[in-house]
Structure 1
Amino acid sequence: MTFSHPELGEFRAGSDPDTTVEREWTWCDKPIRLVLSKDGGSFEEAAVHALELKAKERLWNAEFTDRIHAELFDTWNDVWRQDDPEMGKAEWLGRMTMESLDVTAEGFFTAYYRDGDLFWGHWIEVFGKTDEGAKHASMMG
């Protein structure tokens, strides 16, 4: 399945070809993967929410990274840091790289980050909704 959007461009089938499409995209001047999910709606609805995020991407990016820092920094410092030097917020967050942004027709999003080996190769995800903000950040296996 493919999907074409006048502003977002051409999408190819995603990991679940019946419900997701994806394409390379730019977020804060860096390449990421954008995934749209029907999730009980349509790709068009998911695209509207992706464009909402993109319109204020710098603010959203700050919200994502603030949520990561608020919820995971102490865990890193207390459990994972071991012999690594102490780091401030900017340096710590600077090690992470956003890899993809998944957006659903209902406006839910998940931003996935590489951890820069802070958590020994685990993924970091930030979950939320376009009308409610970033709600939770967690480390994934």
Structure 2
Amino acid sequence: MNYPDIECPELGTLRYEENYDWYEGQLIVQQSKLSIQLLTDEDGAVASALKRATDFVKELEKHAQSARDYAAEGLLAIKNETWIEDEDEEPLTPEQFKERMVLDSISIDSDAAVSFYHNDGDLFWGHCILVTMDSENNFTGAEIAG
């Protein structure tokens, strides 16, 4: 099946990636490139994810900050109790934890759930920090992935 590119004023050009069954594009947020993926539904349609994404990016910076806050609440204790490299390393504050996180990409599925993928700034030795949000903008999880 041929999936044409989608041109969207809020999201730019989105190209279908057949290997992953999603549309992908790039956003510029605070002078950094951010990848965005919109997953297709069981019929191969992307309309619901596209609608969510166009609304979502209007408040992306607010949501991204909230995702970092949520990750720090859920993962800071794990970092400070389990992922300290040596006895000379000091436990991190929430602010230090959040400063090291860098948002790399967001993924929006057909049910309007959003996944925030962060570079961990070596908090967890290169693993990804994944924060998930439901369609009502409620955070549902923060985990170490990859």
State the TM-score, normalized to the length of structure 1.
0.87
Query: Deviation per CA, 1:69-108, whole angstroms, max 9, x where unpaired?
Result: 1111000000002332232211211111111100112201
- Matches of 1:2 and 1:90 in 2, distance apart? 43
Name the counterpart of 2:120. 115
CA spacing shift, 1:14–1:49, aligned 2, 3 Å: same
SS of residue in 2 equivalent to 1:59:
helix
- Matches of 1:137 and 1:59 in 2, distance apart? 17
Aligned length: 140
- Matches of 1:33 and 1:2 in 2, distance apart? 19
CA spacing shift, 1:90–1:2, aligned 2, 3 Å: farther
Aligned pairs for 1:49-68 (under 5 A) are 49-68=52-71
Deviation at 1:39, TM superposition (A): 2.6
CA spacing shift, 1:103–1:28, aligned 2, 3 Å: farther
Task: Give the alignment's Cα RMSD to 1 decimal.
Answer: 1.9
Structure whose alpha-carbon radius of gyration is higher: 2
Structure 2: segments with no counterpart, 5+ residues: none
Asked whether 1:91 is paired with 2:96, we answer yes
SS of residue in 2 equivalent to 1:56:
helix
The answer to which structure, 1 or 2, has the higher relative contact order (CA under 8 A, 6+ apart) is: 1
The worse-fitting range, judged by mean Cα deviation, of 20-29 and 119-128 is 20-29
Structure 1: segments with no counterpart, 5+ residues: none
State the TM-score, normalized to the length of structure 2.
0.85
